[in-house]
A and B are shown apart, each in its own frame.
Chain A
Amino acid sequence: MTFRSWFFTEMPYPDLPPDGEFESMRVTLPSRVFDPVRGAELYERYFDLYRTADAAGLDVMVNEHHATATCVDACAPLALAILARETKHARLLILGNPVSNREEPIRVAEEMAMCDVISRGRVEVGFVRGVPQEISPSNVNPVLMKERFWEAVDLIVQSWTSIDGPFNWEGDHFHARQVNVWPRVYQQPHPPMWIPTQSASTVVEAADRGFNLAVILNGHDGARRMFEAYRQRRLEQGLAPVMEHQLAYLGLVFVGEDDAQAQAGARQLQWYLQNNKVAPQFLNPPGYQPPALRAPILAAEARGTALGSPIADILNATIDELVDRGMMFVGTPDAVIEQITRFHERVGGFGNLLMMMHGGHMDHDTTARSIDLYAREVQPALRAAFTG
């Protein structure tokens, strides 16, 4: 399998009020901040960038978040549907569908199936549990999210693979009558499935089910631990050895013609890290993680050291620090090739780089130049080096 590089933008709405004027970027930032005319321009920019990435030979990825200016792709299946028509060659990864938070898994199965057929089998389907700050917008009981997640996934997979007439589903969390998904998915028996995680227990489940595993902004140490746990679990269970295409890492990427241009682009990418303020009450809701893990956080909160950001440890990191930790890949094509190659070695190999190549106010031309340089110079070198 070839090494794949996936272009990704969170589709931010970057025109924010001064930081002191709002408590939280997530959940409570009033939507009056969003100017629909400006929003339309931004959507046009983002879909143009996806088309640019496709034309340049990259694959593309979309995600979704809710009630936030960090990401105005609130309905990733809609973005996927647009890209199914607007792109011609790229694999289309949705990472992913927050199926715990959705009431109708069958609807998700139908959305993915339609996009898979329209794109003639280019869709890759991710399932995500969702971040804690999505709990209020979805109003799903955090205690039940994990149970709902796997039941929804099971139902969706069965709905894709049951092609001989309806079945019924009466589970703990979802009930469906006469399930008979039309259209049938293009890729048989179903599209590749992905899961991103920071949790060891989810790594186990992903390994057992053979889902592609995506590790997000964990740096080389975190990624190596997760990839090793995935490989180890497959080995322990006597399952087929892990192929590199089953492992993915998401980092921030900017390629410039020279160092100055690259550094300027990287500073714009940092917008994502530096504008992700979340009010503490949305970060650690009961039930999202087991009580034993939450107790020390409660103790810290009681003593006045509440969390202020889900990515607090890298909020104010310099670009050099982010590069050193393997969270950002920045520089000229040669520098980026060297950084990714080093990262690849340190984590024991992986087959997919998910690239946040756009952030904040970055305009189309700046992003497109970085995409072009990556596609022309970096991707071929990585493919030559990593493709088995």
Chain B
Amino acid sequence: MWRDTVRTSNDGVVSIHSLRGVPVEVHERGSGAIVVFVHGEDGLLFSGPLIAGIAHGASVRSIVLPGWGHEPWPAHITGVDDLAIVLLDYLVSLPGPVVLVGVSLGAWVVAEALVRGAANVRAAVLVAPVGIKVRGRTDRDYLDLYAAPAGEIARAMHASTPVVDRTMLAAVEFDELARAQHATTRYVWKPYFHDPKLRRRLDRVLVPVSIIYGATDRFVYDADEFYTAYANAFVPPARVVRVADAAHRVDEECPRAIIDEIQRLVAEGLA
């Protein structure tokens, strides 16, 4: 395993790690207790304010999963289980127990890593996690991003107008978004946004878990019911934080709620 620092900027240090031959970009920012951040469907495109907020009191390591970013995407990385193993490989390279944070698809990756016995994790925060199925065979748990009109998707994801105006993205950001959607599609297509075995495995998780979700999240069929079911699959149940003014993209709409939860967990770890 090696790492190679490729650049530094005001946003921190970017390095490329080789994790059992898989090249993975990691962005490091801030200092203090280590928080590992796992992005969602859009990669790190809209996560800047959240990461900056976490970095005020911690050393944030944001991992760019294979398929996102610019590193080559190895052909054998085909499923969310592969992403979980990449994350596990990264975690064992870190000193001391960390707080692990994942957003949406990233939270699914975190959950898959946790059920495989993640080392070096003190606590986990799952923000609007996906990855489990609660309903029956004719009822999707997640809005069909490949069939719903754009307006319906926008309303599912955001409680109000997105902080970042999508119409104002630069060409390179549309490139990044296209790559992110390509990668997401590769991983979530079928079964759609879930692993049928995950829900029954969550009771294997031995570290404290918090679930943060937006009250008006319409990407899942019923936010309160769905995330309660998710939380109750852990033993003991995950702590639940319901954010009133957010939909599925809690990380964009209310980063403060996530930062507060992380800071609480970091403080508990230091105590």
Q: Which B residues touch A296, using CB under 8 A? A: 171, 174
Give the Cβ gap from A302 to chain B, nearest Cβ, in Å.
5
The answer to whether B178 and A141 touch across the interface, beta carbons within 8 angstroms, is: no
CA distance A303 to B181 in the complex (A): 18
CA distance A278 to B243 in the complex (A): 37
Say which residue of A143, A279, A306 sits within 8 Å of B185 (CB atoms): A143
Say which residue of A136, A279, A286, A302 sits within 8 Å of B182 (CB atoms): A286
Instruction: Please tell me if A154 contacts chain B, counting CB pairs below 8 Å.
Output: no
Interface residue total, chain A, C-beta cutoff 8 A: 29
Give the Cβ gap from A189 to chain B, nearest Cβ, in Å.
31
- The residue among A279, A286, A299, A302 with the most chain B CB atoms within 10 A of its own CB is A286
Say which residue of B148, B149, B167, B175 sits within 8 Å of A295 (CB atoms): B175
The answer to whether A291 and B178 touch across the interface, beta carbons within 8 angstroms, is: yes
CA distance A135 to B147 in the complex (A): 10
Q: Which A residues touch B179, using CB under 8 A? A: 291
Interface residue total, chain B, C-beta cutoff 8 A: 21
Give the Cβ gap from B200 to chain A, nearest Cβ, in Å.
24
- The residue among A295, A298, A304 with the most chain B CB atoms within 10 A of its own CB is A295
Q: A136-B147, A281-B148, A281-B149 are in contact. Are A286 and B181 (CB under 8 A)?
A: yes
Q: Using an 8 Å CB-CB cutoff, how does the interface string of B162-200 with A read, 1 for contact, 0 for none?
A: 000011010100110111011011100110000000000
Which secondary structure dominates chain A's binding surface?
Answer: helix
The answer to whether B146 and A298 touch across the interface, beta carbons within 8 angstroms, is: no
Q: A141-B189, A143-B189 are in contact. Are A291 and B175 (CB under 8 A)?
A: yes
Q: Which B residues touch A298, using CB under 8 A? A: 174, 177-178, 181
Say which residue of A27, A141, A304 sits within 8 Å of B147 (CB atoms): A27
Closest A-chain residue to B170, C-beta based?
A299
Instruction: Please tell me if A285 contacts chain B, counting CB pairs below 8 Å.
Output: yes
Q: Which B residues touch A302, using CB under 8 A? A: 166-167, 169, 174
The answer to whether A287 and B185 touch across the interface, beta carbons within 8 angstroms, is: yes
Say which residue of A142, A295, A304 sits within 8 Å of B174 (CB atoms): A295
Q: Which B residues touch A306, using CB under 8 A? A: 150
The answer to whether B166 and A292 touch across the interface, beta carbons within 8 angstroms, is: no
Q: A281-B149, A301-B150 are in contact. Are A143 and B186 (CB under 8 A)?
A: yes
The answer to whether A299 and B169 touch across the interface, beta carbons within 8 angstroms, is: yes
Instruction: Please tell me if A45 contacts chain B, counting CB pairs below 8 Å.
Output: no
CA distance A257 to B174 in the complex (A): 53
CA distance A287 to B148 in the complex (A): 17
Say which residue of B150, B171, B175, B178 sits within 8 Å of A286 (CB atoms): B178
Q: Which A residues touch B181, using CB under 8 A? A: 286-287, 291, 294, 298
Q: Using an 8 Å CB-CB cutoff, how does the interface string of A143-168 with B read, 1 for contact, 0 for none?
A: 11000000000000000000000000
CA distance A298 to B180 in the complex (A): 12
The answer to whether B178 and A294 touch across the interface, beta carbons within 8 angstroms, is: yes
The answer to whether A279 and B167 touch across the interface, beta carbons within 8 angstroms, is: no
Which secondary structure dominates chain B's binding surface?
Answer: helix
The answer to whether B169 and A136 touch across the interface, beta carbons within 8 angstroms, is: no
The answer to whether A292 and B178 touch across the interface, beta carbons within 8 angstroms, is: yes
Instruction: Please tell me if A280 contacts chain B, counting CB pairs below 8 Å.
Output: yes
Q: Which A residues touch B169, using CB under 8 A? A: 299, 302
- The residue among A28, A281, A304 with the most chain B CB atoms within 10 A of its own CB is A281
Closest A-chain residue to B153, C-beta based?
A281
Instruction: Please tell me if A6 contacts chain B, counting CB pairs below 8 Å.
Output: no
Say which residue of A141, A279, A291 sits within 8 Å of B190 (CB atoms): A141
Say which residue of B149, B175, B184, B189 sits within 8 Å of A279 (CB atoms): B149
Q: Which A residues touch B190, using CB under 8 A? A: 139, 141
Q: Which B residues touch A135, using CB under 8 A? A: 146
Give the Cβ gap from B165 to chain A, nearest Cβ, in Å.
9
Give the Cβ gap from A294 to chain B, nearest Cβ, in Å.
5
Q: Using an 8 Å CB-CB cutoff, how does the interface string of A319-333 with B read, 1 for contact, 0 for none?
A: 000000000000000
Q: Which A residues touch B171, using CB under 8 A? A: 295-296, 299
Q: Which A residues touch B146, using CB under 8 A? A: 135-136, 281, 285-286
Instruction: Please tell me if A282 contacts chain B, counting CB pairs below 8 Å.
Output: yes
Q: Which A residues touch B185, using CB under 8 A? A: 141-143, 285-287
CA distance A115 to B241 in the complex (A): 62
CA distance A360 to B48 in the complex (A): 53
Give the Cβ gap from B150 to chain A, nearest Cβ, in Å.
7
Give B58-105 interface residues, CB cut-off 8 Å to A: none
Q: Which B residues touch A286, using CB under 8 A? A: 146, 178, 181-182, 184-185
Q: Which B residues touch A285, using CB under 8 A? A: 146, 185
Closest B-chain residue to A301, C-beta based?
B150
Give the Cβ gap from B133 to chain A, nearest Cβ, in Å.
16
The answer to whether B150 and A282 touch across the interface, beta carbons within 8 angstroms, is: no
CA distance A287 to B190 in the complex (A): 14
Give the Cβ gap from A138 to chain B, nearest Cβ, in Å.
11
Give the Cβ gap from B188 to chain A, nearest Cβ, in Å.
9
Q: Which B residues touch A142, using CB under 8 A? A: 185, 189
Q: Using an 8 Å CB-CB cutoff, how does the interface string of B141-155 with A read, 1 for contact, 0 for none?
A: 000001111100000
Q: Which A residues touch B150, using CB under 8 A? A: 280-281, 301, 306
A-side interface residues toward B, CB under 8 Å?
Answer: 27-28, 135-136, 139, 141-144, 279-282, 285-287, 290-292, 294-296, 298-299, 301-304, 306
**27 residue pairs A–B, Cβ–Cβ below 8 Å:** A28-B147, A135-B146, A136-B147, A139-B190, A141-B185, A141-B189, A142-B185, A144-B186, A280-B149, A281-B147, A281-B148, A285-B146, A286-B146, A286-B185, A291-B178, A291-B181, A291-B182, A294-B182, A295-B175, A296-B171, A298-B174, A298-B181, A299-B169, A299-B171, A301-B150, A303-B167, A304-B167
Other 9 A-B pairs with CB < 8 A, given A143-B185, A295-B177, A299-B174? A27-B147, A136-B146, A141-B186, A143-B186, A281-B150, A282-B147, A295-B171, A302-B166, A304-B167
Q: Kindly list the 3 A-B residue pairs having the minimum CB-CB distance in the complex, ordered from nearest.
A: A291-B178, A286-B181, A141-B189
